[in-house]
Structure 1
Amino acid sequence: MIPIYIKNEKKFKTITLTLKFKAPIEAERLTERSLLAKLLTKSTARFPSEQKLYDHLSDLYGAHLSSYVTKQKTAHVMTFSMEFIHDKFVDEPLFDACCQLLSDVIKNPDIREGAFDAQKVAQEKQLLAARFDAIKDNKAQASFQRMLQEMFQTSYRYPSIGIESHLPAVTPESLYAAYDSMLQDEKALYIIGDVTEDVRAKLEYYFDFLSNEAALEPLKLEPKDKPVYVTEYTHTSQARINMGMTVPVEYGTRDYFAFIVMNQIYGGDATSLLFMNIREKMSLAYQIHSQIDARLGLLYVVAGVQNATYQQAVDMILSQLEMMKEGQFSEELLAIAKKMLVSHRRENFDRPRGWIETSYASTFDAVKLSTDEWIKGIESVIKEEVMAIAAQVNVQTIYCLAEEVTA
């Protein structure tokens, strides 16, 4: 049986039911899994058209069915979710009906003779092609993806929605093969709302899936003596800077918490060094921030800057990192960073999806941290620890997308 996580939260009028599928990130499967996530929520064997499924959701008092794909650690995760009103507000058995529908989305899709409907597959391929086009047109997104491709040589370099060049080869039959493979994924079920352990038996009935453990490869990048610089040129009103860095941290350790705090001070919000110095004081950036994948020890800096001064901006971004190594930030900024992180964490748990995603992320690590333990870890970080972790940052890749300036 798949693990089932139940969270009783009386303040929500709705119940959120979420089913997760985890598999290793594999380049040859990403595109089909991305298409499959959307295709499965457009029809079922019982409701073989999008309109019929939409009408049924309307009959369920506007229940919301959704899906998306993400990368977490080195896993590709497919998420299917139902949000619906609690039975007590409508005096109808919505719980059973919604569980049945989400179960049918996975167990009973609209499949005929070992293949999905060709017209529906073609439509989803068109929609995904449009998403790829939108990313290419968005210089910020496109340049970040190019940085990832330069930084990583494994399948991690690709976006969770897939690979554009693989799209033409997808067929109704290959999607069915991807569906058959998806059923072998590692799975987990989450439910949050005014529910108790009494619903577990029903959930085990509707979601009686077998779950295989996903074997995930570690993500390893050797430190570089010098970062790889890549500059590409295009027509753009502002240059885009994307930097990829690594930090050797282990989840749940003091270094892990120091890394999270370090990022917050470096470029986490409008009080950070990158924002206050490079954007506000020096006016070198239109927008700038840093972000991390703390579990993988990855740090990214993203900025939109003037074409004529992008190299200066790169130098200043790196200089702010040197300032952190030398402790050139105040205790006040450290206190603000920790306060903001704790506040964000608590706010996250005030939303159903926040609890689900945070709880699911915790299953990727052998060490388990409660919310109180996480907050205590953040609050205990001292300045010297932030300096020490900043000193371990290794700049791997610096990618710039700019318009060539001619004299």
Structure 2
Amino acid sequence: MTEKLETVIPGNGVHIHLVPGRKFKTVSITAKFRAPLSRDTITKRALLPYVLQQGTLTYPDRSAMQAKLDALYGAVLSVDSSKKGNNHIITIRLETANQKFISDEASIMDEAVNLLKEVIFHPISENEAFLPSVVDREKSTLQQKMNSIVDDKMRYANMRLIDKMCSNERYGLHIQGYEDDLKSITAENLYAYYQSVLKTDQLDIYVSGDFESDVMEEKIKSEFERECDWDSKEAMAEPNSEKQSDGPNEMMETQEIQQAKLHFGYRTHITYADNDYAALHVFNGLFGGFPSSKLFINVREKNSLAYYAASKFESHKGLLFVFSGIAPEDYGQAREIIEKQLEAMKNGDFTEEEMANTKALIINQLLETMDDSRGLIELLYQQVVADTEWSPLDLIEGIKHVSKKDVVNAANKCDLDTIYLLTSKGGASSE
């Protein structure tokens, strides 16, 4: 039985996760709102957290909010939205000093909890609407973020790969939303949607740091009590991983670029809740997760065909992505060598020593993530999204026991779904 990292207090409106630890010198409170990915709501959800952090009833603008954060010894408020499998997650974090380490300060935690409560439940509003000036400003900022994606060619290429690969699936939705939707978002309808988020999203609150668990439990319970109509059936209705066709889809785009982007998308048919998830971790480490991996050594080092070559996987949708930056004229050869690396993994073409080294790298990576409060919470939240009890320490134990046969089995579950090439005009063509 592995060490217990968190205590979970379930409730109808909010699940509280207490993650006590003396190694953290600050206290972090993280609220995670979860709902199914939906084309109808994704742009509002992308915009909402940035509007919420602009002010509350007590601290009605950014300068008042920042002054309060500064008064809490430089507390940091941050927000974002992300997708995990078929779920859309809004995250609001507040990290503050621990009053245990500051003399004559007994109210820091009460003030921090109250501030986060205000951000979530009492944002600045008037007449059942957010402030139009705030909404317009944040819409403009979000539009700039959407437009900037095309300038980050690696990110753009992966977005286009997923567009093709998951065209009829929730996961294909753009997490930053859509420019067309911004025009129809108003201070009124965004506020109405915010009210529905409070009523229907699953809310999990994580508190990590050096604190008394019973005191913190009562504090969070008293401030964040709510009723909730969360229903996970919608998110679970669509299968996480399904093969699109008998052969890989191919997509090529051209732009004025010097370095082409060759990306692959695979269906792994393995997610966080599956027994062979640890084997998928080890497979990815050997395949393309580290500088010692097959992709890095064979595509980049031995054949000098890529400026970079790596892989990563999505834990809840069951997808694996390969990224490479190549010269446009090297497309055919690079594609062939990348595909050969997966075949080598399927055939068990790796040593026990390579596997042991890769396991050590993965475990060290996980331990480093767990040493960071934010990273630990993200790892723990995997269990919520997957609806399973398999902690980061359980995962580490699982990785230790992965056999070569397990890795080969995981490799053989991987189906090539889509190949995407972003190349120069007049550059490589499909060969």
TM-score by length of 2: 0.91
Of residues 135, 155, 174, the one that matches 2:170 is 155
SS of the residue corresponding to residue 41 of structure 2 reads helix
- Aligned pair in 2 of structure 1 residues 72, 250: CA closer, same or farther (>3 Å)? closer
Single out whichever of 159-168 and 259-268 deviates more from structure 2: 159-168
Of residues 139, 144, 147, the one that matches 1:130 is 144
Matches within 5 A, 1:47-66: 47-66=59-78
Q: What is the CA distance between 1:253 and its match in structure 2?
A: 4.5
* 1:138 alignment partner AA: D
Question: 2:100 aligned with 1:83, yes or no?
Answer: no
- Aligned pair in 2 of structure 1 residues 347, 261: CA closer, same or farther (>3 Å)? same
Residues of 2 paired with 1:406 and 1:369: CA distance?
Answer: 47
Q: What is the CA distance between 1:212 and its match in structure 2?
A: 3.4
Q: What is the CA distance between 1:209 and its match in structure 2?
A: 2.4
Contact 2:51 2:138 in 1 (8 A): yes
Contact 1:71 1:77 in 2 (8 A): yes
Q: Deviations over 1:12-56 (max 9, x none)?
A: 221000111000000111111111111101111111111111111
Q: What is the CA distance between 1:293 and its match in structure 2?
A: 1.4
Q: What is the CA distance between 1:368 and its match in structure 2?
A: 1.3
Of residues 44, 53, 59, the one that matches 1:32 is 44
Residues of 1 paired with 2:267 and 2:145: CA distance?
Answer: 29
Residue 379 of structure 1 is matched in structure 2 by 400
Residues of 2 paired with 1:294 and 1:51: CA distance?
Answer: 39
Question: 2:348 aligned with 1:327, yes or no?
Answer: yes
Single out whichever of 372-381 and 280-289 deviates more from structure 2: 372-381
Residue 108 of structure 1 is matched in structure 2 by 122
Q: What is the CA distance between 1:223 and its match in structure 2?
A: 5.3
Q: What is the CA distance between 1:250 and its match in structure 2?
A: 5.2
- Aligned pair in 2 of structure 1 residues 201, 223: CA closer, same or farther (>3 Å)? same
Residues of 1 paired with 2:61 and 2:388: CA distance?
Answer: 45
Residues of 1 paired with 2:401 and 2:304: CA distance?
Answer: 34
Residues of 2 paired with 1:320 and 1:406: CA distance?
Answer: 25
SS of the residue corresponding to residue 26 of structure 1 reads coil
Residues of 2 paired with 1:373 and 1:53: CA distance?
Answer: 40
SS of the residue corresponding to residue 327 of structure 1 reads coil
SS of the residue corresponding to residue 350 of structure 2 reads coil
Residue 259 of structure 2 is matched in structure 1 by 238
SS of the residue corresponding to residue 34 of structure 2 reads strand
SS of the residue corresponding to residue 28 of structure 1 reads coil
Q: What is the CA distance between 1:232 and its match in structure 2?
A: 1.0
Residues of 1 paired with 2:57 and 2:92: CA distance?
Answer: 17
Q: What is the CA distance between 1:295 and its match in structure 2?
A: 3.2
Q: Considering only aligned residues, what root-mean-square deviation do their CA atoms show, in Å? A: 1.6
Residues of 1 paired with 2:170 and 2:386: CA distance?
Answer: 21
* 2:416 alignment partner AA: V
* 2:265 alignment partner AA: G
Q: Deviations over 1:343-384 (max 9, x none)?
A: 111111111011111111111234312333212211111222
Instruction: Give unpaired runs (5+ residues) of structure 2.
Output: 1-10
Residue 189 of structure 2 is matched in structure 1 by 174
Q: What is the CA distance between 1:160 and its match in structure 2?
A: 1.8
Of residues 304, 312, 332, the one that matches 1:311 is 332
Q: What is the CA distance between 1:134 and its match in structure 2?
A: 1.3
Q: Deviations over 1:142-182 (max 9, x none)?
A: 11101111011123112322122212221111211221111
Question: 2:157 aligned with 1:140, yes or no?
Answer: no
- Aligned pair in 2 of structure 1 residues 306, 371: CA closer, same or farther (>3 Å)? same
SS of the residue corresponding to residue 363 of structure 1 reads helix
Q: What is the CA distance between 1:229 and its match in structure 2?
A: 0.7
- Aligned pair in 2 of structure 1 residues 223, 157: CA closer, same or farther (>3 Å)? closer
Residues of 1 paired with 2:80 and 2:120: CA distance?
Answer: 14
Q: What is the CA distance between 1:138 and its match in structure 2?
A: 1.1
Q: How many residues are aligned here?
A: 407
Contact 1:24 1:214 in 2 (8 A): no
Residues of 2 paired with 1:308 and 1:214: CA distance?
Answer: 50
Single out whichever of 386-395 and 273-282 deviates more from structure 2: 386-395
- Aligned pair in 2 of structure 1 residues 366, 52: CA closer, same or farther (>3 Å)? closer
SS of the residue corresponding to residue 70 of structure 1 reads strand
Question: 2:410 aligned with 1:395, yes or no?
Answer: no
Single out whichever of 153-162 and 9-18 deviates more from structure 2: 153-162
SS of the residue corresponding to residue 292 of structure 2 reads coil
Question: 2:180 aligned with 1:165, yes or no?
Answer: yes
Single out whichever of 205-214 and 291-300 deviates more from structure 2: 205-214
- Aligned pair in 2 of structure 1 residues 4, 49: CA closer, same or farther (>3 Å)? same
